[in-house]
Amino acid sequence: MSTLKDVARLARVDISTVSRVLSGDPKQVAKEETRERIIAAAKALEYRPNQVARSLRSQSTSTIGLIAPRLSDFAFTTMLDGIENAALKAGKGLLVVGWDFRGSNSDSKREILLHLLNDGIVDGVLIAFATIGDEFAPILLSSKVPIVIVNRKSKLIGASVTVKDGEAVKTAVEHLTSLGHSRIGYIGLKAGTTTVADRLEGFYSGMKTMGLEVREEWMASGPYPDPDSGNTPLASIIDSSKRIGLPTALIVASVRSAPQVISEMSERGIKVPLDMSVIGIGDTEFAKITSPKLTTVWLPFEKMGQKSVEMLINAVEGKELIDFKLPDSPRIVLRDSTGAPRQ
């Protein structure tokens, strides 16, 4: 395991400079070039602070912190049930902070984060469904309490608890193939997290396993719709498929976007599933009330929440934090949005 001394050696600075930079202290005076070099060295060495020792030095507050960017996300609310139940069972309170690491008000977020991690407010922190920018990495590295990253993997900060995202998309490909589909498209999210990367890799792997051709014309990614252009991933697929024709099935990597995809199809006169089948990754209650009801691939979001609390409490008690992937296999939840392709 790498130490501050290793980081200092690679970054060509003294240990005290590394400590100041990684503490996230806004008053640290290292030059920007030096700061970037230290952060790069910490990443290259996969340096992680000794969070176990830090937790042993702190006094218990019986409270767990939770940072999440989208509190209304259906997948998040399912996971939150698991977090709340596990925290209650362990006799822990829950302090929820609902903001994204990206976007504006960085200075205010830095102050809140420093306060949460270093001022004895909580025993440990869960960071769920979040994309963490480099500017926040030094603060997280200097945390006085343990950190668990939920639904993301991090080589630098804390430990992670994840699910079989890639296998979930492969399961979707297999289901569509079993219905007779060979023209399968994919709507993903913009790159930036391990979840996005794992699901995309699962699509390529699933298509290769089933002996199907991946057509770039049938693939798109991004928010729904794009806040800058107003375009949608479905519109991009339709526009780029004029020569070769549309796919007969779409896998939507974000179950949150799938209802919007189906709604846009209806507006464009594309009948689901008669003209095109749609399947979403991750099962939520919302999938039951779309029209038609959405076929999904179930993932253990609630169990992921429970496991994250278990890991965090173990770390607070002095046990080592180790990355964990839930062993539960994804499974198809069959509803009305998938069917055989039109002959």
Average pLDDT of the chain is 88
3-state secondary structure at position 322? coil
Beta bridge partners of 249: 184, 277
CA angle 9, 15, 17 (to 5 degrees): 110
Judge contact between 151 and 80, C-beta under 8 A: no
Q: What is the pLDDT of residue 55?
A: 47
- pLDDT, tens digit, 9 for 90 and up, residues 183-211: 999 999 877 788 999 999 999 999 999 99
Q: What is the pLDDT of residue 4?
A: 74
Cα of first residue to Cα of last residue in the chain, in angstroms, is 58
Is the whole-model pTM more than 0.85?
A: no
- Residue 135 pLDDT exceeds 80: no
Q: What is the pLDDT of residue 30?
A: 63
Tokens 């702190």 belong to which residue? 58
Judge contact between 297 and 335, C-beta under 8 A: no
CA distance 159 to 339: 40
Domains of the chain: 1-47 (1.10.260.40), 48-162+303-325 (3.40.50.2300), 165-298 (3.40.50.2300)
